[in-house]
Amino acid sequence: MFIFKTHTELSAWLLTQKALHKTIGFVPTMGALHSGHIALVLQSRKENDITLVSIFVNPKQFNNPIDFEKYPMTADADIATLQQAGCDAVYMPQVEDIYPPHLPHVNLELGMLNQVLEGPKRPGHFDGVVQVVHRFFSLIHPNKVYLGLKDFQQCKVIQALTQQYFSSIQLVFCPTEREANGLAKSSRNMRLSKEAKHTASAIYHILQTIAAKYKKENLSDVLAASKLFLQTKNITVEYLECANSDTLALTTQWQEPGHNVVLLAGYLENVRLIDNIQF
């Protein structure tokens, strides 16, 4: 497996791969890899000649500096895991390689995508995601990019970026990987105690319960009762909302089948967890 620390080395290698007409699958990550990331790598390996993973903890997308400082860094373990998964190359740049001086700021009008849920709760977050993903796509020009649906809103933001600037890139959204108890796999789970990992299963349980009540009960009542249930589990709900899964417009009315997404953000042991369910 090749390990590139600079975009110059990476670009030289990509040039030879593209000259050989190899298709490139790209998996962007911030490291602290778990089986959710590996599922993306394996999917990419099935569908492309070459799989490239980036590991870069992007400072621009952290609205909370403490969250940035605490973000787990496990570079050696990540490299070993990727090697085992059959990844072809990993790009692990420093901040200066991603954001050289005078790199123009990318403007993307996100509209609704930045006005709901994570948008107002994490000011500047999606702008940071847009900057780093634009830089990756400009350097790599992959054929396909693999993203996890746990970050549903991020998938929509990257879709908007791709539609505007990189129409030849195909995005592949992959289902959320879960622990046996339903907890969505996340690098942040490392910070949860064993007991909290058990308690956190209530999140997916309640999302499934909401989906099971589709059109049988009033949506606002279902959401209100679900928040109360999570409170009893000591999960501090930041938001629990239903949205149209195409536009992400929040709604108090059930949408047509296949166009509902219920999204949650909450805190447990001061760890911020997000999850969602589509139906």
Catalytic residues: 37
Q: Which of residues 210-269 bind ligand PAF (CB under 6 A)?
A: none
Of 121, 89, 105, nearest to 24 by C-alpha is 89
Does residue 153 interact with ligand PAF by CB under 6 A? Answer: no
Task: Output 150 or 199, the one with its CB closest to ligand PAF.
Answer: 150
Q: What b/e readout covers 30-65, taking b as 16+ CB neighbours within 10 angstroms?
A: bbbbbebbbbbbbbbbeebebbbbbbbbbebbbeee
- Report the residue closest to ligand PAF, judged by CB: 28
| Site map (CB under 6 A) of ligand PAF, residues 110-149, x = contact | -------------------x--xx----------------
Q: Report residue 264 as tokens.
A: 């949650």
Which range touches ligand PAF (CB under 6 A), out of 23-31, 70-78, 175-183, 248-256?
23-31
Q: Which of residues 40-69 bind ligand PAF (CB under 6 A)?
A: 58, 61
Distances from the Cα of 93 to the Cαs of 10, 19, 67, 90, 106, in angstroms?
10, 24, 20, 10, 20
Task: Output 28 or 142, the one with its CB closest to ligand PAF.
Answer: 28
Query: Least separation, in Å, of the C-beta of 37 and ligand PAF?
Result: 8
Beta strands in the chain (DSSP E): 2-4, 24-29, 50-55, 89-91, 144-148, 170-174, 236-244, 250-251, 260-268, 271-278
Task: Output 25 or 28, the one with its CB closest to ligand PAF.
Answer: 28
Task: Output 130 or 206, the one with its CB closest to ligand PAF.
Answer: 130
User: 15: Cβ–Cβ under 8 A, 6 or more apart, which residues?
Assistant: none
Q: Report residue 61 as tokens.
A: 């997308």
Query: Least separation, in Å, of the C-beta of 198 and ligand PAF?
Result: 25
Which range touches ligand PAF (CB under 6 A), out of 25-33, 38-46, 241-249, 258-266?
25-33
**DSSP-assigned letter for residue 51:** E
Does residue 29 interact with ligand PAF by CB under 6 A? Answer: yes
User: 233: Cβ–Cβ under 8 A, 6 or more apart, which residues?
Assistant: 199, 202
- Asked whether the CA dihedral 250, 254, 258, 262 is positive or negative, the reply is positive
**Residues 124, 168: Cα–Cα separation, whole Å:** 27
Task: Output 121 or 259, the one with its CB closest to ligand PAF.
Answer: 121
Interface size with ligand PAF, residues (CB under 6 A)? 10
Does residue 151 interact with ligand PAF by CB under 6 A? Answer: yes
Contact, 13 vs 6, CB < 8 A? Answer: no
Q: Which residues bind ligand PAF (CB under 6 A)?
A: 28-30, 58, 61, 129, 132-133, 151, 154
